[in-house]
Chain A
Amino acid sequence: MPGMLKSRKDVERVREKAEKGLNQQKVRAMVCAGTGCLANGSLKVYEKLRELVSEKGLLVDLDMTEDACGEAHPNGNGIGIAKSGCHGFCQMGPLVRIEPQGILYVSVKPEDVEEIVEETLIKGKAVTRLLYQDSPSGTAVKTEDSIPFYKRQHRVVLANCGRINPEDIREAIAMGGYHAIAKALDEMTPDQVIQLINASGLRGRGGAGFPTGRKWGFAQAAKSVKKYVICNGDEGDPGAFMDRSVMEGDPHKVIEGLMIAAFAIGADEGFIYVRAEYPVAVTRLKKAIKEAREYGLLGRNILGSDFSFDITIKEGAGAFVCGEETALISSIEGRRGMPNPRPPYPAAKGLFGKPTIINNVETLSNLPSIILNGPAWFKSHGTETSPGTKTFALAGQVVNTGLVEVPMGFPLRDLVFEVGGGTRTGREFKAVQIGGPSGGCLAKDQLDVALDYESLRKVGAMVGSGGIVVMDEDTCMVEVARFFMQFAQNESCGKCVPCREGTKQMLALLTKITNGEGTEEDLELLEEVALAVKDGALCGLGKTAPNPVLTTLKYFRSEYEAHVLEKRCPAGVCQALKAYSINPDKCRGCTLCAKACPVGAISGERKKPHNIDQAKCIKCNTCVEKCRFGAISKE
């Protein structure tokens, strides 16, 4: 059991001790244990690494160094093996990062472990075949920092993700964790904290971009003995996973951020609301909170100050609308997660009727470094009106998928083509969807937009939570709009008429169009309904639900017209608008397609051209994929 930390100096002492312990490790292998790499089997790699290194008697853990007071490996050749949070490069997992060289091994399998131990951990040499292969040049890239995916990133929020063991508070403290709250408690007043955050220009990273310091100011001014702070970890946007990665990879940063917010507004109780779909994040946060309590960083009179604070985790139960702050409050209170009209704003009357601040995971994770480095440092990144960095989740039909953090104002084109490496299918880039169901679809012509609040809003999209999904020419934009509307309709809570009925009608119109039954009047009606919902809906979910429709109508109108006027789906996606046929000249009668067809629509004799029964065909595309001779086409 650690001693309770009673002052800023105690925090410093823990840091020194942990650093000393980490220095015992001459080399250190960090195995990614984010959801992505876990799915690829990284735990087996981790276990094998530990097993082999401890067999050789070289394993040095922080616990061992603490007991042995730094005597574990006097000759200094100890090896550390730890699990880390998400490195961000999920596509290439399982990832293993070797410190201090910064070598990154990709797609590591348990069979590779022996070579890693012998060559890299003991002899200090890189294993070329496990390095990332840069496809255009065909060369192996040794260190993480020189991989194109990482090169242009600037990691502040994600700084520790992949660098520390999220399940050990000492590693977080060694990287400067809890130093910001110690500084705030030691030498600042709540007013000064708010002034500092105001001066930094930090804006909410959850979507709307409201200035964080101003929000706090309202809550601080509210007269109430009891106040609450809430961390919004209900990352419901499909295509976004940056908050999950921070909660999994650096939970102590989230906790420290929430403490800073609580101190600023005078709250003594906090909640972290996490989606039910993120079980790993829940486990890591629970462990982190437990550790923080053991160290006296949560509880009464933290670090010898008057500030007392504790955190409870609330697990969501699956409702997108709960990302909206008033709905989230209802959910924490144990009710249906439905939004309430604002005002009153939560800062005046929130959880259980008390003044409440709700900040997003990423917003909170920015706070410690702002406190430690000052507002000028924060403003040195990003743009005038959108300072700092922003994490984006890059996914879809792009070569490098994963988590990236770039300065605000970063050109979208560079993100897709340089960091993301362009489309992975070799097909041409068509669109990029930013900000999930609340965001918009941008076409090639909008690629030069800068990624900041104002620029994105101007083109009809929004930063939202930061999900970026790349689409190639195989994607039908009308179908994408229908997909998002289906999502919005499913998730509409039903409280207000514009959203409840409007999303339903828009979905019906979009379905009609994708079924090939749309008319020109439907396009006009669709736009009219979309604008009405945008104006009339109660909460952010409803107000932004028409965005995917409005942006696709604006930037991809020709595709809508092809569906409506020519009854044709240019991307060949909409099932009702395509028919499959077999080219008799190319078909060799191998029967593969007939066997694969789930509904038995293909018939024919062996070694003779086959036929498709259009009445039976469900247009699932399986036959096209099965055919080795390119004999089946869709039109």
Chain B
Amino acid sequence: MGKEMEQMFQRKFDKVNSIVDKHDRKVSNLIAILQEIQAEYRYLPEEVLTYVATALGIPRATVYGVATFYTQFSMKPKGKYIIKVCDGTACHVRHSEKLRYLVREKLGLDDSKDTTDDLGFTIETVSCIGACGLAPVVTVNDDDVYGQMTPEALTIILDQLISKERSEGSTGKAENGDECPARNGQAHELDGGKGCLGC
């Protein structure tokens, strides 16, 4: 392990240490501890779980058991933007599955993958965020709640997010192939421009 790596590790555990201490190293605060760690790293790295187990004096299996039980916790790194598509009953009967399909399509994620390779985006399906009056609902990083979503409106939001993320210089590269018929002019061409369907 290089010196730089070692220092990085040290820093990593310093932060974990302060979180564990803040919660008085109490086992009953395990969930809160893991929540804070995940807020810090965006996921729960395995070596950190081992560290927490040692710090609390409990078996690794117990920590691992809690980390895998609750849906909020992830053992895999998550993207910078977490897009949650609500699939509660109200959203479901207002066809939220189309939105889910659209997000996957836009981000190029198939069913086996929830996070883009450049760690830019993660898609999650949630069982209900309690904004049923606005169904169907999509949230971005929990802060931005978009209600009464349609595929069209969500496309605009996703396009903005994607270009924002790409311009912020993440490792992902810009892609061409925007499908908007208005932009490539094909729809306008039809009927000499008069027949534009304004889609």
The B71-113 residues at the A interface (CB cut-off 8 A) are 71-73, 87-90, 92-94, 98, 101, 105
Q: A39-B134, A90-B133, A402-B133 are in contact. Are A469 and B35 (CB under 8 A)?
A: no
Choose among B92, B133, B142 the residue that contacts A483 (Cβ–Cβ < 8 A): B92
Is B190 a contact partner of A336 (Cβ separation < 8 A)? no
Q: A237-B128, A332-B28, A397-B94 are in contact. Are A36 and B70 (CB under 8 A)?
A: no
Choose among A40, A318, A396 the residue that contacts B94 (Cβ–Cβ < 8 A): A396
Contact with B along A373-401 (1 / 0, CB 8 A): 00000000000000000000111110001
A591 to B186, CA, bound (A): 9
B-chain residues with CB within 8 Å of residue A491 when the two chains form the complex? 127
The B10-41 residues at the A interface (CB cut-off 8 A) are 26-32, 34-35
Choose among A239, A620, A621 the residue that contacts B132 (Cβ–Cβ < 8 A): A239
Is A315 a contact partner of B32 (Cβ separation < 8 A)? yes
Is A240 a contact partner of B66 (Cβ separation < 8 A)? no
CB distance from A358 to the nearest CB of B (A): 16
B157: Cβ under 8 A from any A Cβ: no
B147: Cβ under 8 A from any A Cβ: yes
B195: Cβ under 8 A from any A Cβ: yes
A483 to B96, CA, bound (A): 12
Is B133 a contact partner of A36 (Cβ separation < 8 A)? yes
Is A315 a contact partner of B35 (Cβ separation < 8 A)? yes
Choose among B32, B62, B132, B199 the residue that contacts A467 (Cβ–Cβ < 8 A): B132
B-chain residues with CB within 8 Å of residue A606 when the two chains form the complex? 190
A352 to B87, CA, bound (A): 35
Give the total number of A-B pairs whose CB atoms are below 8 A apart: 174
The A314-351 residues at the B interface (CB cut-off 8 A) are 314-320, 331-338
Contact with A along B125-162 (1 / 0, CB 8 A): 01111111111010000100111000100000000000
Is B147 a contact partner of A236 (Cβ separation < 8 A)? no
Is A236 a contact partner of B134 (Cβ separation < 8 A)? no
Choose among B31, B87, B128, B197 the residue that contacts A590 (Cβ–Cβ < 8 A): B197
Residue on A with the closest CB to B33? Answer: A334
B-chain residues with CB within 8 Å of residue A480 when the two chains form the complex? 93
CB distance from A257 to the nearest CB of B (A): 20
* Residue in A316, A336, A436 with the greatest tally of chain B CB atoms within 10 Å: A336
A628: Cβ under 8 A from any B Cβ: yes
A-chain residues with CB within 8 Å of residue B34 when the two chains form the complex? 317
Residue on B with the closest CB to A467? Answer: B89
* Residue in A35, A89, A338, A471 with the greatest tally of chain B CB atoms within 10 Å: A35
Contact with B along A250-275 (1 / 0, CB 8 A): 00000000000000000000000001
Residue on A with the closest CB to B62? Answer: A335
The A619-635 residues at the B interface (CB cut-off 8 A) are 620-622, 625-626, 628
Choose among A239, A279, A336, A433 the residue that contacts B69 (Cβ–Cβ < 8 A): A336
A-chain residues with CB within 8 Å of residue B197 when the two chains form the complex? 590, 592, 628
* Residue in B66, B129, B131 with the greatest tally of chain A CB atoms within 10 Å: B131
The bracket for how many chain A residues form the interface is 35 or more
CB distance from B28 to the nearest CB of A (A): 4
The bracket for how many chain B residues form the interface is 35 or more
A105: Cβ under 8 A from any B Cβ: no
Q: A238-B89, A592-B187 are in contact. Are A277 and B130 (CB under 8 A)?
A: yes
The A460-505 residues at the B interface (CB cut-off 8 A) are 467, 469, 471, 475, 480, 483-484, 487, 490-491, 493
A244 to B129, CA, bound (A): 10
Is A317 a contact partner of B134 (Cβ separation < 8 A)? no
B168: Cβ under 8 A from any A Cβ: no
A499 to B69, CA, bound (A): 16
Is A39 a contact partner of B132 (Cβ separation < 8 A)? no
Is B32 a contact partner of A622 (Cβ separation < 8 A)? no
A27 to B105, CA, bound (A): 50
B179: Cβ under 8 A from any A Cβ: yes
Choose among A433, A436, A626 the residue that contacts B199 (Cβ–Cβ < 8 A): A626
A-chain residues with CB within 8 Å of residue B181 when the two chains form the complex? 591-592, 595
A318 to B35, CA, bound (A): 11
B65: Cβ under 8 A from any A Cβ: yes
Is A39 a contact partner of B146 (Cβ separation < 8 A)? yes
Choose among B30, B72, B90, B137 the residue that contacts A469 (Cβ–Cβ < 8 A): B90
A7: Cβ under 8 A from any B Cβ: no
CB distance from A494 to the nearest CB of B (A): 9
Is B179 a contact partner of A333 (Cβ separation < 8 A)? no
A89 to B65, CA, bound (A): 41
Q: Residues of A at under 8 Å CB distance from B?
A: 35-36, 38-40, 89-91, 93, 235-241, 244, 275-279, 314-320, 331-338, 352, 393-397, 401-403, 433, 436, 467, 469, 471, 475, 480, 483-484, 487, 490-491, 493, 590-592, 595-596, 598, 606-607, 620-622, 625-626, 628
9 additional A-B residue pairs with CB within 8 Å, beyond A317-B72, A317-B73: A277-B126, A333-B27, A336-B65, A397-B94, A490-B127, A590-B197, A595-B187, A621-B98, A625-B151
Q: Residues of B at under 8 Å CB distance from A?
A: 26-32, 34-35, 62, 65-66, 69-73, 87-90, 92-94, 98, 101, 105, 126-135, 137, 142, 145-147, 151, 179, 181, 186-187, 190, 195, 197, 199
